Amino acid sequence: MATAVPVRIDWQAIVADPRFQALHVAKTRFLWGLMAFSILFYFLLPLGAAYAPGLFARKVFGPVNVGILFALSEFLVAWGVAFVYARRANAEFDRMSAELIRDAEKIGGRK
């Protein structure tokens, strides 16, 4: 029974491939944008509570005020960010990655 010879991939060659570079740049830019939005939105809660307490204390209904609704909106924003990332990854990043995976042996070859 013949044993399969494991393929050795030259990772430096893959990293140098323009398609990998394009994928890396696209993901990095997109993720930095999502992260900046998330951090900004996250810090609006303590900043709003500190600098706009009247607004955050305004009752919306019953004991629920704007501050509580804003705090709960943090969960919605987190889910929204995950949804936006998943859609972009499925539409663009996965296709680019699949191309690289398909051609990995050709790009990196055997060492």
pLDDT in tens, 67-106: 999 999 999 999 999 999 999 999 999 999 999 888 887 7
Q: Is there a contact between 58 and 47 (Cβ–Cβ < 8 Å)?
A: no
Instruction: State which amino acid sits at residue 7.
Output: V
Tokens of 103: 């051609």
Q: What is the 8-class DSSP label of residue 89?
A: I
Q: How far apart are CA 9 and CA 104, in angstroms?
A: 7
pTM of the full predicted structure? 0.76
Q: What's at 37, amino acid-wise?
A: F
Question: What residues does each domain of the chain span?
Answer: 30-108
